[in-house]
Amino acid sequence: DVKVTQSSRYLVKRTGEKVFLECVQDMDHENMFWYRQDPGLGLRLIYFSYDVKMKEKGDIPEGYSVSREKKERFSLILESASTNQTSMYLCASGYSYEQYFGPGTRLTVT
Amino acid sequence: GESVGLHLPTLSVQEGDNSIINCAYSNSASDYFIWYKQESGKGPQFIIDIRSNMDKRQGQRVTVLLNKTVKHLSLQIAATQPGDSAVYFCAETQGSTSGTYKYIFGTGTRLKVLA
């Protein structure tokens, strides 16, 4: 079974803090993705990576950056968290057109 | 997640009946279409996919139909069970500059199974 794990299920941060969300996959997948999920808006792609150190912007990259130093790990960084970044963050990994999701991190920025 | 069901269209189905969940997509050039199921507090889980050169594909208790003429996708669940209660998302694929497939997700439909 594919396993995608995210470092925290729930996280509370203050406005202006730097936030790191970590994602690890154990299937040697080339591709990894970060989404945010908000009520009524569905899942929206923030960034994805197709290889180590390679990344591409998704549909809503503003306010976020990513890092992929190792194939199995993909980090999402909020340089200066803001209240409008309160959301559920979902990581996925996969190959070709398939994507497998982690359980999500619910981030609250106060 | 637990709040993903807010503001979503809801389909209520009696246990044992068949369910049909619909989805409209936008990109006529999409190669693949995928259905995901998301239970409360969990990440989306793959159900079934269909390639753009097909119009029907069957899995265990599920069937996906693709109508490219009207850009419509549907998921049929036979003999709906309480464990089918969840939010269902369709996704269409889109190419990227790197050649990686990206997903464009629909906003989802909440399925409620009534005992």
Position B48 in a domain: yes
Average pLDDT over residues A21-47: 94
pLDDT in the model for residue B7:
64
Query: Given pLDDT bands bounded at 50, 70 and 90, which one contains residue A72?
Result: very high
* pLDDT tens for each residue of B1-28: 344 445 689 999 999 999 999 999 988 8
| Domain of residue B105, CATH code | 2.60.40.10
Number of domains in chain B: 1
Average pLDDT over residues A4-8: 94
pLDDT in the model for residue B26:
87
Cβ atoms B37, B86 nearer than 8 A: yes
pLDDT in the model for residue B87:
95
Query: Which chain A residues are closer than 8 Å to B7 by Cβ?
Result: 39-40
Q: Hey, what are B55's tokens?
A: 């119009």
pLDDT in the model for residue B16:
97
Q: Which residues contact A16 (CB under 8 A, 6 or more apart)?
A: A80, A81
Provide the pairing of β-strand A10-13 with A105-109.
parallel
Query: Which chain B residues are closer than 8 Å to A98 by Cβ?
Result: 46, 49
pLDDT in the model for residue B27:
86
Cβ atoms A107, A19 nearer than 8 A: yes
Position B41 in a domain: yes
CB contact under 8 A, B100 and A50: yes
pLDDT in the model for residue A98:
87
Position B3 in a domain: no
Q: What is the least distance, in Å, from the CA of A79 to any CA of chain B?
A: 24
Residues of chain B under the 50 pLDDT cut? 1-5
Integer Cα distance of B33 and B110 in angstroms: 19
Q: Does B51 touch chain A (CB under 8 A)?
A: no
pLDDT in the model for residue B8:
81
Position B2 in a domain: no
Q: What is the least distance, in Å, from the CA of B74 to any CA of chain A?
A: 18
Position B5 in a domain: no
Q: Does B103 touch chain A (CB under 8 A)?
A: yes
pLDDT in the model for residue B95:
82
Q: How many CB pairs under 8 A join A and B?
A: 72
Q: What's the domain range around B109?
A: 10-114
Position B4 in a domain: no
Which segment of A81-85, A87-91, B82-86, B90-94 scores lowest on mean pLDDT?
Answer: B90-94
Instruction: Catalogue all structural domains in chain A, each as residue range(s) with its CATH number.
Output: 4-96 (2.60.40.10)
A103: nearest CB among B34, B43, B99 = B43
**What residues in chain A have their Cβ under 8 A from chain B's Cβ atoms?**
4, 31, 33, 37, 39-45, 48, 50, 54, 56, 58, 88, 90, 92, 96-104, 106
Position B50 in a domain: yes
